[in-house]
């Protein structure tokens, strides 16, 4: 077994452990921080799979913007910042464990049946080719996604601002 194999197995283990901590920790801020760990290990995995531009986009968009947005959301909705036992719905726990383990079992069975052990880690970069393809073959979806982002931005501002037409004072 080569060194890069051991490193990638360690990376996958780290990914899963931090993912489990995201859904099991009883502290809201710790969950956001563990999501940062999960996304960072995902970015390293993407670099190993020679998708370095996607890794950089992941770091910039997720760790840079989305996590900050989550922390603002936690603070604005006044979720309790310390450890909090009320965060989980305890009567759903057995049910949820059963469902997630069965989904994982089905996926693992199908994946092990379908794919042999093709080697995927190769050398080389793909950013130059990615830029050329994104601005030639995929230029229409690229522009469309920018309009989706604009629409989401305007929609988010419209929803979140204090507007008397949207907020009926009697309902509060």
Q: Which of residues 54-73 bind other proteins (CB under 8 A)?
A: 54, 57-58, 61-62, 65-66, 69-70, 72-73
Query: Looking at 10, 23, 30, 83, which residue binds other proteins (CB under 8 A)?
Result: 23
Q: How far apart are CA 160 and CA 144, in angstroms?
A: 24
Query: Looking at 10, 108, 139, 143, which residue binds other proteins (CB under 8 A)?
Result: 108
Ramachandran angles phi, psi of 119, nearest 5°: -75, 130
CB of 126 to other proteins, least distance (A): 6
**Residue 30 engages other proteins in binding (rule: CB under 8 A):** no
11 and 44 in contact (C-beta within 8 Å)?
A: yes
* Angle (CA) 37 40 45, round 5°: 125
Q: Which of residues 70-99 bind other proteins (CB under 8 A)?
A: 70, 72-74, 76-79, 86-89, 92-93, 95-97, 99
**Residue 31 engages other proteins in binding (rule: CB under 8 A):** yes
Q: How far apart are CA 32 and CA 40, in angstroms?
A: 12
Query: Looking at 30, 83, 104, 125, which residue binds other proteins (CB under 8 A)?
Result: 104
CB of 10 to other proteins, least distance (A): 11
Query: Helices 3-24 & 28-48, crossing angle to 10 degrees?
Result: 160
**Residue 130 engages other proteins in binding (rule: CB under 8 A):** yes
**Residue 111 engages other proteins in binding (rule: CB under 8 A):** yes
Query: Looking at 9, 83, 139, 143, which residue binds other proteins (CB under 8 A)?
Result: 9
Q: How far apart are CA 104 and CA 119, in angstroms?
A: 23
Could you give the count of Cα atoms lying within 13 Å of 45 in the half-sphere of its Cβ?
Answer: 16
98 is written with which tokens?
């059963």
**Residue 143 engages other proteins in binding (rule: CB under 8 A):** no
SS3 61: helix
Total binding residues toward other proteins, as defined by CB under 8 A: 90
CB of 160 to other proteins, least distance (A): 4
């Amino acid at each position: 077994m080569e060194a890069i194999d051991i490193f990638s197995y360690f990376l996958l283990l780290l990914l899963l452990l931090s993912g489990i901590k995201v859904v099991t920790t009883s502290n809201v801020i710790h969950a956001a921080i563990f999501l940062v760990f999960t996304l960072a290990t995902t970015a390293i995995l993407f670099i190993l799979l020679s998708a370095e531009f996607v890794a950089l986009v992941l770091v910039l968009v997720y760790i840079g913007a989305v996590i900050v947005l989550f922390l603002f959301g936690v603070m604005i909705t006044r979720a309790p910042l310390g450890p909090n036992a009320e965060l989980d719905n305890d009567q759903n726990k057995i049910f949820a464990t059963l469902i997630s383990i069965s989904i994982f079992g089905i996926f693992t069975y199908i994946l092990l049946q379908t794919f042999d052990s093709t080697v995927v880690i190769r050398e080389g970069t793909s950013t130059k080719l990615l830029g050329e393809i994104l601005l030639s073959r995929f230029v229409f979806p690229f522009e469309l996604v920018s309009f989706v982002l604009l629409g989401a931005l305007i929609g988010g501002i419209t929803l979140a601002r204090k507007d008397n037409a949207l907020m009926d004072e009697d309902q509060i």
